[in-house]
Structures are given as C-alpha cells and as structure tokens.
Structure 1
Amino acid sequence: MTNIRTGFFIMIFTSVLFLLFITSINISAEEIPLSPKINAKAWILMDSSSGEILSEFNADKRLNPASLTKMMTSYVIGQKIKSGSIKYEDIVEIGKDAWSPSNHILQGSSLMFLKPGDKVSVYDLNKGIVIQSGNDACIALADYIEGSQETFVDLMNYYVKKLGLKNTHFMTVHGLDAKGQYSTARDMALIAQALIHDVPKEYALNKEKEFTFNKIRQINRNKLLWSHIIKVDGVKTGHTLGAGNNLVASAVDKNTRLISVILGAPNDNIRFRDSERLLIWGLNFFETITPVKSNMALVQQKVWFGNKNKVDVGINKDIAITVAKNEKKDIKMNLNFNSRILEAPITKNQIIGTIDFKINDKLIKHYPLMALDDIKKGNFFSRLIDFIIMKITSWFNIWF
C-alpha cells in the first residue's frame, strides 16, 4: 500500500511541475510545443465535440482492449435504457455463469461478487460494470438483455459498424483476453465520444468514485477522478497480461472536452501520469469554439418564383471547431453559394452552398450550407412578376 501511495504522489508531483512549466510560458499559436512524450504502445488525444485529433501515435494499431471493452458494453446498455427496452428498476436473477467459482474465466479478475440466485436491479448491475469493472456484472446483464453473452457480443459488434469503427472487433462482454478481440486508440476514443454524446445519463456513472454492493465497498480504478489539476469525469481503465495497462480518460475545461486514450503502458502509474500530462497539454493550448449553432440563420437569401421571396440559410447541426488558444479572434467565416440564382421549390436542409472557416487564409473546416425552411412555388401571378424582374435585371446585369 505504501508503494502505491508513493507512486501516486510522485505522479501528482510531476504533473504539477509539468503544469506550472507550460502555464508559465506565453506561447503564440505558431509556437505550440509538441505533445508530451508518452510511454505506451499507442495513444491519441481527441476533441470530443469536433473530433479533431490533437496528438496521436500508432492510433490505428490493433491491440488488446482489455476492460476498455466495457465502454461498448455500457454503450449498448445505455441505448437499451434510452429506448425503454429495459429499465433501471428491472430485477435480474443471477445465473451460475456469472458466479466466479463456477466460471474459471472470472477467477482472479475484477468482480462485483455476485452469487447464483441473487436478485439485483439493472441499475446496480450497471454501476457494477462502470464503477467496479465487474466482469460478473457484464455477464449477468448480457444474459438478461439478449439471452446470452454471444448474442450480446453480436449487438456490440453491430454498434461497432454503426459507429463506423474500422479496427475493432469484440469477442467478449467484459474484455478478458480472447483470440480475435482487438481495438485501437482511435476507435476507443470514438466509443468514448459516442458514450458522452449519445447516452449522457449512462456516461454520468463514470464520475462516481465508489460503489458498495453486499457491504463490499470498491473504489473506481480511474485515479484521475481525484486529480486536483484537471476535471476528469471518466472513462475506463483496463489491464490484462495480454493488453498491459490501458486507460481512456476525459477531462473538461469550460467549453472544451478532450478524450485521451493510452494503450499498452508498462505499468499502472505511467498510464495515469501520461494520460494526465496529455490532457493538461491539450487543455492548456487548445480550446473548442462553436461559431454556428444548429438552425441558426446566418443570412437570408433571395428566392425566385416562390411563395416567399427569401429563405433563411444556415446549418442543421452545431459546428464545433478546435483552435489553438488566442486564435479565436482570427477565425473567419465565408458563405459560398452554388448559384447566385436560387429558385423555388426549395426543401428544408437542401444544400445550397458551403460554409468555410479559415484562420489566416488557411481553410480549417468546411461544411454544407443549407436552406432552413421549405419554400414552395408561388402562384402564377407572383411567378410572372419574378420572371419580368429577372429579365430586366439581367439586361442591366443587376442582381438582388
């Protein structure tokens, strides 16, 4: 215990020194230092809102995810609860396959310590997965939701495809070493992003620091939840002999949320130390801005031959952009229309141009520009007037 505490205090001390060092420097956007050196097989740092990658190494290398697998297990559970297929108050009767003495795979692994015949709520089992990393809880909920672990794993891999993950395949519901099971730092960041955005109530469990079940109190293994330097509220640790030490972490500072993934760190202390250093670096030198909100009218555009003569123009989703700090004032927005003549009928969300964001004349983001309303054809009389006006304006090369 003394060695664990000593290692943890060393990790905090070095992180504080690193933070003091980088915050004492007044650095322009062009002089942002390289991200800290990470001791792991692979890593990535991603802006959760924009998806921008700030740092990466071997991000697409297939590695053993270990208990990071439980993020997808949690995602599936969150989707089931969100859809109403299951409820937190549902009671699950525990079977023998979720009992470690009768399942050799579970022996020596992280457990909720379930027993056959126990009647446990979905809510408690879910907390056992997220907070305690209980492999037995994963099995119990998989059996309850889909009837078997195999069918639940199929559902996990269905969401792998739906989320567009290119290098992930699951063979278990819990992440214990299994042939053919793999993921990458990039895909794990995307799963964390999906957890945060798609099932926020499920994700909220990740910030809880402890859970007591059957009078057994267990502490969340994510030590960064106790960080005094950055605000971390998730996500998941993982460790097996085949994987080494893995960690997915997410930290928030004002409007910026970053996700870090470290795979294959040599020991427990290094994965936490390096994850914290990576997140500190990202939060100190970058920020997320939202220059355009969903369905916000940026401009009104003239419409010919319609029942209305103007249409609101914008975009149908919030736009998040990651910029170096102090670059916010330099960002420029340009609207480019596909044609200077816009004719009815027009349908809502019809693409009529592009919206470009630039910093110092460099294109950083590019999105489709859309009509925010339906515009139907006008009556014969209004269309005739528009035709006459269009003819006259074309003679004199004058356009509205």
Structure 2
Amino acid sequence: MINIKNIFLIIAFVIESFYLLTCPFNVYAKEELPVAPKMNAKAWVLIDYSNGTVLSEFNSDKKLNPASLTKMMTSYVIGQKIKEGKIKYEDIVTINKDAWAPGNPLLQGSSLMFIKPGDQVSVYDLNKGVAIQSGNDACIALADYIGGSQNAFVDLMNYYVKVLGLKNTHFMTVHGLDSDGQYSTAHDMAIIGQALIRDVPKEYELNKEKEFTFNHIKQINRNKLLWSNVLKVDGIKTGHTLGAGNNLVASAVDNNTRLISVILGAPNDPVRFTDSERLLIWGFNFFETVNPIKANVPLTSRRVWFGKSSKVNIGINNDVSLTIIKDQKQDVKINFSLNSERLDAPLKKGQIIGKVVFKIQDKEVDDCPLVVLNEVKKGNFFSRFIDFIIIKINTWFGLSL
C-alpha cells in the first residue's frame, strides 16, 4: 500500500532537485571595463591577488630583464626552505669571500648589505638585507648557505619557476644583476609576487619594513610607495640595472581587495613609483574582490538514497573570489547543477557531484566543482530495501527522484 505522505515527500524532492540557487553578486564583464591609465614603461600589469584576474596590461608577456625583482624568487626559495624546516631564522651563516663586495668585482657599485668574510650573521638578518636593503651580497650568502653554491641555488629558483607554472621566466643569478639568458615578464613577476604573499607570508612581511640597520649602517627601503598617503602598500620589490631600466612590483590592500602591480622598464626612478601608484589607485577605484561562496558552508542539501542519512549537504571545498566592478554586485547569478539526478550512498566528503556556475548577463564567467560536504555511508539492509521500493514506485508512476 502506497503511503500518501511519502508520495508528497517524493514530489517535494523532485521540485527541490530542479531548484537553481541565485545570489546578488556581480562579476566584471570585459566590455564594461573603464579605461586604465597608460604607463610610461616597456611593460606593465595589474592583477587581483586573490584570483590572478588581469585588470590592465601592456606587453605583460614580453621577456625583459627583471633586475632585482629576481630577489622575489630568492626570497620565495628561502621562505620555502624555512617552511620545510631545512633552515631556521636563527641559524648563523658564516660569510664567504664571494659575498664580499671588495673581493667580487661583480658586486662593486651595486646595492649591498655590507657584509664581509668571516662575519657571523643570522638567516633572519640576511633576509632583511635581501628584502629591505636589496643586498646582492646577502643573496649570495644565503644562496651559499642553502644551496652550497650560487649555481645550485639558481637551480632551485628555476625549479620553483616550473612549480608555479611560469612559461616566460629563467634565472641565471641569485640577485638579478644583468646576465645573458636571464629574463622574465610583467605577468610572471606578478605571479611570483602572488606566490610570495600566499605561500611564504612571514617572508613577505619583511618587505613592508621601511629601514634596516646592519653593522651600524642604516639603509632605507627602496620602495617609496611604503610611504604613500593614499595607498596601503606593504611590498614588494624594486629593481634597477642599466639593462633593465627601472622596475617595481608593488602590492596594496583596500578592505577585502589586494592588488599587485608590475612596472618594467620605466625611464627613471620617479616614474616607476608615480605610475605604479596611478595604476593601483585606478584599480581600487573601479574594482573590488568579493567572496560569494565560502568553503564548507552548505549551499543546500539533497536527498540521498541507500544511505545511513537521507540527506547530504552540498557546497564547495575552496573559497571562491571574484573580481567585480564596484556597485554592480546585483548582476551575478550563481547556479549549480548535479551530474546525475540521483545521489546514491556511499558518498565521500569532497566528492565532486556537479558544478557551480557564475553568470553575468546569461554568460558564464567562472565555475567551480560542486562537492559533498559530509560523508554518507551505506545504510543497513532494511533502509536500503525501503529506498529501493520507493524508487521502484516512482519509476512505475513516471516520477523523477
């Protein structure tokens, strides 16, 4: 005998399975982008840190000389080795002769921490020498300590180039002084900056310090945007050589939005800072980052068959961030769909069961996997048998589950 109450429940589940979730958020559409200011440089790019969205670019994939922006990758490798426990901030490094400027013609006239052979310097202080003073000698000292030689450390740098998926970057030095075969791009440098902030935040924090004194020599951070009155800049790196011109990677934060700008080949020192500031201000004026969906927060629940539980929560397992034009949040639609009409136990936590799609003006602009948020094990024989009967009855009546 068919239970009328069960039939109504089944009909409710059918209606629920076709429900599309919508939320009032808006992803930017390229045709709506306001015009970006033109930079006086060989190449530039502005990205949203949270998702890598490019907001403005010119020659962003052109291979150019990175100069001391190379030190961002040097810092990244150091930070990774600290995370791995291979070295510690308090480790003491004995300085070798190759890190001594008077004994190394390549270093003479370049930016230095002013260390000398036999000095006992902590990894932490050498890190400051790299990040704040842009010390080429400090880079060599840390490369020798971590890799055993500069060449071995450069190999580590290029290993992480591959790990980060960079296609247009190759390093030949640990410090960035001009060298044949060394190149990068504005976009790749933005990705390295993104990785530095995301993967080794303690290492990145050194870049916001405005000065460092070592051996009674006080040096000021070369990134003048740290003193900006209109931006909250907390990094990242300057670079200059005869072959490169004037380079700058800068990152700033405004509420929930962090942007990264890269200027390569500016004609002089003031221009790289004024243009970077203009580019960042433009970005913050017109864009913002929103998080319409949070990881592990249920979007909704769905009926589960043959399980210990009859329902399962579904959502996403990684936070989603979207770059939107300000004041247009209401245009974004968030839809989700299941790969199959029926969910059968067992279901594993994190199992992909469908797709979440972000749309603007009926155009898909992004998507992410729809997953199970909690495990559902198989039910006992009796509960599975009941579900089997219900499914059969629905099949006889031509109803969807």
Correspondence 1:258-297 to 2 at 5 A = 258-297=259-298
Q: TM-score, normalized by length of structure 1?
A: 0.91
Residue 40 of structure 1 contacts residue 266 of structure 1 at CA under 8 Å; is this kept in 2? yes
Correspondence 1:195-234 to 2 at 5 A = 195-234=196-235
Q: How many residues align?
A: 373
Match of 1:171 in 2: 172
Match of 1:299 in 2: 300
Match of 1:342 in 2: 343
2:280 counterpart SS class: helix
Cα shift readout 1:182-227 (whole Å, capped 9, x = no counterpart): 1111110000000111111111111100100011010100011010
1:336 counterpart SS class: strand
Q: TM-score, normalized by length of structure 2?
A: 0.91
**Larger Cα-atom Rg:** 2
Residue 167 of structure 1 contacts residue 187 of structure 1 at CA under 8 Å; is this kept in 2? yes
* 1:115 counterpart letter in structure 2: K
* 1:329 counterpart letter in structure 2: Q
Q: 2: distance between equivalents of 1:83 and 1:232?
A: 29
- The alignment status of 1:247 with 2:248, answered yes or no, reads yes
Q: Shift of residue 181 of structure 1?
A: 0.8
Q: 2: distance between equivalents of 1:254 and 1:395?
A: 57
Cα shift readout 1:289-308 (whole Å, capped 9, x = no counterpart): 01111211111111111222
- The alignment status of 1:67 with 2:59, answered yes or no, reads no
1:368 counterpart SS class: strand
Correspondence 1:136-151 to 2 at 5 A = 136-151=137-152
Q: 2: distance between equivalents of 1:397 and 1:358?
A: 33
2:202 counterpart SS class: helix
Q: 2: distance between equivalents of 1:298 and 1:164?
A: 32
Cα shift readout 1:115-147 (whole Å, capped 9, x = no counterpart): 101000111000000000000000001111111
Q: 2: distance between equivalents of 1:342 and 1:238?
A: 56
51 and 31 in structure 1: CA distance in 2 versus 1, 3 angstrom threshold = closer
Q: RMSD of aligned C-alpha atoms?
A: 1.4
Greater than 3 Å deviation, 4+ residue runs: 28-32, 397-400
Match of 1:133 in 2: 134
Larger deviation: 358-367 or 209-218?
Answer: 358-367
- The alignment status of 1:109 with 2:113, answered yes or no, reads no
1:182 counterpart SS class: coil
Q: 2: distance between equivalents of 1:350 and 1:299?
A: 16
Q: 2: distance between equivalents of 1:38 and 1:362?
A: 32
* 2:379 counterpart letter in structure 1: G
Q: Shift of residue 387 of structure 1?
A: 0.9
Cα shift readout 1:14-49 (whole Å, capped 9, x = no counterpart): xxxxxxxxxxxxxx9976530001111111100000
Q: 2: distance between equivalents of 1:134 and 1:291?
A: 42
Q: Shift of residue 156 of structure 1?
A: 0.8
Q: Shift of residue 347 of structure 1?
A: 2.0
Cα shift readout 1:136-193 (whole Å, capped 9, x = no counterpart): 0000011111111111111111111111111111111101111111111111000000
Residue 192 of structure 1 contacts residue 235 of structure 1 at CA under 8 Å; is this kept in 2? yes
* 1:91 counterpart letter in structure 2: I
* 1:315 counterpart letter in structure 2: I
Match of 1:359 in 2: 360
361 and 237 in structure 1: CA distance in 2 versus 1, 3 angstrom threshold = same
Q: 2: distance between equivalents of 1:117 and 1:65?
A: 31
1:164 counterpart SS class: coil
Q: Shift of residue 399 of structure 1?
A: 3.9
Q: Shift of residue 361 of structure 1?
A: 2.2
Residue 50 of structure 1 contacts residue 288 of structure 1 at CA under 8 Å; is this kept in 2? no
Match of 2:6 in 1: none
Match of 1:329 in 2: 330
* 1:252 counterpart letter in structure 2: V
